[in-house]
């Protein structure tokens, strides 16, 4: 599979099944994008937590105008919710050294 094919597939899934999230980066402002959001339960997490967490899958296509991909230094608001810290970059998948999928774990 080529990076372009993988990105196109992810972009279609996000467009069809995603919801709006807003990323906030110091010095860059806010950016609203669509993402696939999955609420996690403690058994989904390596380290069980008392606070709710979500897995957020983003497309690199949405970040061509940002200096770098989203990371744990950014904050994310899911829907109309308040901004929460991206706790960890769960995974950045690449094909031929080109990022094709970004997964973050977010508090809340």
**Cβ-defined contacts of 24-27 (< 8 Å, 24+):** 24/74, 24/75, 24/76, 24/77, 24/83, 25/66, 25/70, 25/73, 25/74, 25/75, 26/73
pLDDT, tens digit (0-9, with 9 covering 90-100), for 32-88: 999 999 988 765 555 555 677 889 999 999 988 888 888 888 899 998 888 888 877
Cβ neighbors of 97 (< 8 A, separation 6 or more) are none
Burial per residue of 52-73, b for 16 or more beta-carbon CB atoms within 10 angstroms, e otherwise: ebbbbbbbbebbeeeeeebeee
State the pLDDT at residue 48: 53
- Domain coordinates in residue numbering, the chain: 3-107
pTM of this structure: 0.83
Among 3.30.460, 1.20.1630, 3.30.70, 2.40.30, name the CATH number for the domain at 3-107. 2.40.30
């Amino acid at each position: 599979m080529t990076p372009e094919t993988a990105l196109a597939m992810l972009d279609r899934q996000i467009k069809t099944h995603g919801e709006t999230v807003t990323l906030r980066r110091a010095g860059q402002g806010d950016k609203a994008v669509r993402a696939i959001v999955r609420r996690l339960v403690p058994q989904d997490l390596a380290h069980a937590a008392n606070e709710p967490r979500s897995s957020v899958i983003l497309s690199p296509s949405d970040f061509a105008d940002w200096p770098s991909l989203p990371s744990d230094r950014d904050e994310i608001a899911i829907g109309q919710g308040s901004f929460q810290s991206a706790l960890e970059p769960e995974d950045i998948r690449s094909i031929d050294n080109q990022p094709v999928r970004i997964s973050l774990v977010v508090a809340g």
